[in-house]
């Protein structure tokens, strides 16, 4: 499953950061998941709960923030947050838009115990 490999690399990232900060454990992991990232939050948190047991995150709480799609319109220069998967500007209906957020998954914050 796609989400499993994401969690595996997330754990590696957490372990590297913990090492860097000489932390003994991680208490909280905060993620941003874009609606267009292709990541299913429910599956991701399920995978996290499974994998964390063998890692430095074993006591960590996972917080997922869903990032809506944000479009920048090249026609009317408006920036809009849209609820659906579209590239149409809700202000002027132009399709000359650029996705500026909501496409990626990011590690936002780690709370560590040192
Ligand atoms: Zn527009």
pLDDT in tens, 50-61: 999 989 999 999
Instruction: Give distance in angstroms: CA of 79 to centre of ligand 1.
Output: 8
Instruction: Give distance in angstroms: CA of 77 to centre of ligand 1.
Output: 6
- Distance between CA atoms of 56 and 83, rounded to whole angstroms? 36
Instruction: Give distance in angstroms: CA of 19 to centre of ligand 1.
Output: 46
Domains of the chain: 2-111 (3.30.2320.80)
Angle at 58 between CA 62 and CA 106, to 5 degrees: 35
- Distance between CA atoms of 7 and 107, rounded to whole angstroms? 11
DSSP state letter for 49: H
Instruction: Give distance in angstroms: CA of 97 to centre of ligand 1.
Output: 7
| Cβ count within 10 A of residue 55 | 19
pLDDT in tens, 26-36: 999 999 999 99
pTM of the model: 0.85
């Amino acid at each position: 499953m796609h989400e499993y490999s994401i969690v595996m690399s997330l754990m590696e990232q957490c372990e590297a950061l913990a090492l860097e900060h000489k932390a003994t454990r991680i208490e909280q992991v905060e993620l941003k998941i874009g609606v267009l990232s292709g990541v299913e939050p429910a599956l991701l948190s399920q995978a996290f709960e499974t994998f964390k047991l063998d890692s430095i995150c074993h006591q960590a709480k996972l917080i997922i923030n869903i990032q809506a799609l944000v479009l920048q319109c090249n026609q009317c220069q408006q920036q809009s947050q849209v609820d659906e998967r579209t590239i149409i500007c809700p202000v002027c209906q132009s399709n000359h838009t650029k996705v500026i957020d909501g496409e990626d998954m990011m590690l936002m914050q780690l709370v560590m115990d040192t």
